[in-house]
Structure 1
Amino acid sequence: MMTTLYIDRKNLRLTVENQAAVFYENDTRTATVPLHIIERICIKGSLQLNASVLGKLGEHGIGVLVLSGKQQQAALMMPNTKLDARRRTLQHTQAQDPEAALRIAKNLIAEKTERQAQLLRRIGQTALQHAHRLHRPAEQIQALVQAVAAAPDSDSLRGLEGAAAACYFQAWQSFLPASLNFQGRNRRPPRDPLNSILSLGYTLLHFEIVRHLHLCGLDPCIGFYHNLQHGRESLACDLLEPLRPQYDQWAIDLFRQHTLQAQDFSDTPQGCRLKKSGRLRYYRAYEEHAKTWRTHIHQACRRLLNHLCQSTCQPELALGELQLWDNPDAG
C-alpha cells in the first residue's frame, strides 16, 4: 500500500539504506520506512538530507514537497517519470487555440461553480438554522453556472468565476462561528484559522495534481484557464479549481467536528499559523481523506487527456499506455 510520509520534526537526518528511508536523531537511529511503500514525502521542519538521498528517492519515483519559510511556500522535486512528448504536443496546440482553450476552461469553472452551490445547499440541509441564509446565495451561484456555459471569452469567464467566489465566501460568514474570525477569503498570508487551512490544503492538493499530470505525460505549466506565468504550474491550477469546494467542505468539517479549534492557531506578523499539535492532527486527518481526492485528481487528468486526444483525432494516445495509471496510487 503506497502512502505519503509527513516529516515535521526538528534535528532529524534522512538517509537511504538497503531500500529503506532511515531517520537519525542526534546520530541515533530512530525510524526506518521501506521505500516501496512511500509514494510522496512532505517535509516541514529542519530535516537534513543530501543530494544523493534526493537522487535515490527520484530513482524510486518518490515525489518530495518541501513547505518552507514563515509562509510555507512550496518547493517541489519531481521524480524522473517517463513523459509522452506527443501528448504534450496535443496539449500545447490546444492551449494556443483560443476556442479550444475556452471550452476546456468553461467546463472546469462550471464544475467548480456547481459544486460551490451544492456545498451551500448541503450545509443548509444539515444545519437548518442556517438554511434561510444560504438559500439565496446558493441560487445566485447556480444561476452563474448557466452564465459560465455562455461566456464569450476568457475575460468574461474570469469575471463570472470571481463573482461566484465572492458570493460563496460571503455566505460562509453566515454559518461559521465567530471564534474563527472569518471575514472572507484572504491569503499571502492568511489572517484567520480557516483561511490558513484552506491555503495549506490547496498547496498540498496542487502538489498531488502536478504529480499526476507528470504521470499522465502532460505539462503542468501549460494551462487553459490560467495563463502562462513564470514559476507557476498553470494546468495544475486549472485542475485544482473544481476540487476546491470538495476540500472546502472537509476543511469546514475539521472545525465543526472540533478536530481543529481556534486555539490551535497563533497570530504572527507573518499571518495566522497552525501550531505543531494542530499540524499533527491536520496531517493525520488529511491523509485519511486524501485517497478520495487522489482518485478524483487521477480521473480529472484522464478526462483531460482523453479530451485532448479525441478532439485532435488521435485516440490511440488515450488508450493502452494510459492503463499504466488505472490505479491512482500507482507510482
Structure 2
Amino acid sequence: MTVLYVTERGASLKVKHQQFQIYHNSEIQLSIPVNRISHIVLFGSCRLTHGAMSLALRRQIPVMFLSYQGRYFGRLQGKIAEIDYLQQQVKNSLNPEFRLRQAKSIVAGKLSNSWILLRRLNRYHQQTEVKEAIAQLADTINKIPQAESIDTLFGYEGQSARIYFQALGTLIQDPFQFTKRTRRPPTDPVNSLLSLGYTLVFQNLYTLIQAIGLHPHFGNLHTPRHNHPALVSDLIEEFRAPIVDSLVVYLLNSNIFIPEDFTAPDNRGGVYLQPSALKIFLKHWQTKLQSQITHSHTGAKVTYQRCLELQVWEYLTCVLGEQENYRPIQSKM
C-alpha cells in the first residue's frame, strides 16, 4: 500500500479500469491500481473527478487537500467511528485518572524520543549547549510520573520543546539557521520542512485512527474542542523527533536542499518549498516511512508506516481496557 501524492498545478485525478490516473496538460502522467493506494494527498489546484471521488469513498480511501505550501484544507473520508468504541472513548474522556495516565505516557514518549535524537545527533559534535539540553530533558522526563495534572504536563512539554528546538538549531549546518519553532506561517526553511512533515504525519495518523473505527476528536493530553482532532494530536507526539525532525536535519545537513529551493518570504513572512523541491521532499519522505526500525514493544523489524498503524492499535487496547497505560514507541540510540 502506498500514498498517492498529486503535486502538479492543474493536474486531474481520474479513474479508469480500477486504476487511478493522473493527467496533466491532457496527458497521462501516472496510472496505479486502486487496491495499491492507502490514501491520496492533493496539493493546490489539483482536480478530483466525480468518478475518482466516488471510487475513493466506496473503497474507503481518504483524500486530503493541502495548499501548495502544505497547509491543511480538509479531507474526504467516508468511514465514521464504531459506536462501541465511541461510547468507550466518551466514557474515558470523562475519567480524569484515565486521561492523566495516558497523558503522562504521551508526554514521556515525546520527550524521550527528543532526548534520544539530540544524543544521537550530538554524538560526534559534543556541543556544550546540546549536552545541557539533553540533561534538562532527562530531568523533566524523571518528573513526569509525579505530575498531578494535565496542566503540569503541558508545562513540562512546552518548556522542553523550547529547550529541544534551541539545541536542535545548533546541530543544523550553514547556510540554514534555526533558532525557534514558528508556525502559521513557518518563517524559515527549517520551520517550513518541519511544518510540512508534521502535517503529513498528522494526516497519516488521522486516516489510521478512522480506519480502525476510533473517533479522532477524543484525546487525553489534548482535549476535544471545535474542529480539533485531539487524539491525532496525542498520538503524533512520539513520532515528531524520530520521523520528521531527524529527516529534516538529514536533508539540510546532507545538502539535499539549498536556500534557493525555498520561496522568499510572502506578505505574512511565510517561507515554503518550491514546487520542484516539494517532489524531492516527498520522495525522501516515502523512503523515511518505509525505513525499518525495531519496534520497542514487539522487538520485530517494522517500517515507520507500520509503526504508526501499530500505535493506533496500541491505543485502542487502552480504550477497551485491555491494558492500563498507553505505551509509546521509544527510539534506539
TM range (shorter): 0.7 to 0.9
Structure 1 counterpart of 2:298:
none
Distance 1:203 1:304, change over 3 A: same
Alpha-carbon distance, 1:178 to partner: 4.1
The residue type equivalent to 1:242 in the other structure is E
**Are 2:187 and 1:176 aligned?**
no
RMSD over aligned Cα atoms:
1.9
Whether contact under 8 Å (2:4, 2:39) holds in the other structure is: yes
User: 3-state SS of the aligned residue for 1:90?
Assistant: helix
CA deviation after TM superposition for structure 1 residue 12, in Å: 2.1
Distance apart, 1:161 and its partner CA: 0.6
Q: Secondary structure at the match of 1:176?
A: coil
C-alpha contact (below 8 Å) 1:71/1:189 kept by paired residues: no
Q: CA deviation at 1:238?
A: 0.4
Quote the Cα distance in structure 2 between the aligned partners of 1:221 and 1:114: 25
Q: CA deviation at 1:69?
A: 6.3
Which residue in the other structure is 2:150 paired with? 154
Superposed, which structure 2 residues align to 1:168-317 within 5 Å?
A: 168-246=164-242, 247-269=244-266, 270=268, 271-291=270-290, 292-310=303-321
Q: Give CA-to-partner distance per residue, 1:16-48, whole Å, 9 cap, x none.
A: 122111233343444322211111111113222
Aligned to 1:324: none
Deviation per CA, 1:233-281: give whole Å up to 9, x if none: 1100000111111121121111112222222111222401101121111
- Deviation per CA, 1:127-178: give whole Å up to 9, x if none: 32x4433211101101100111211001111001111111101112322224
User: Which residue is equivalent to 1:110?
Assistant: 108
- Structure 2 residue runs of 5 or longer lacking an equivalent are 291-302, 325-333
Equivalent residue of 1:266, what SS? coil
Name the structure with the higher helix share.
Answer: 1
Q: TM-score if structure 2 supplies the norm length?
A: 0.87
TM-score, structure 1 as length reference: 0.88
2:79–2:210 Cα contact (<8 Å) kept:
no
Residues 215/261 of structure 1: CA separation in 2 closer, same or farther (3 Å cut) = same
Instruction: Report how many residues are paired.
Output: 309
Structure 1's unaligned 5+ residue stretches are 314-331
Offset of 1:312 from its aligned partner?
Answer: 8.7
Paired position in structure 2 for 1:93: 91
Counterpart code for 1:309: L
Q: Is the 8 Å Cα contact of residues 134 and 171 (structure 1) preserved in structure 2?
A: yes
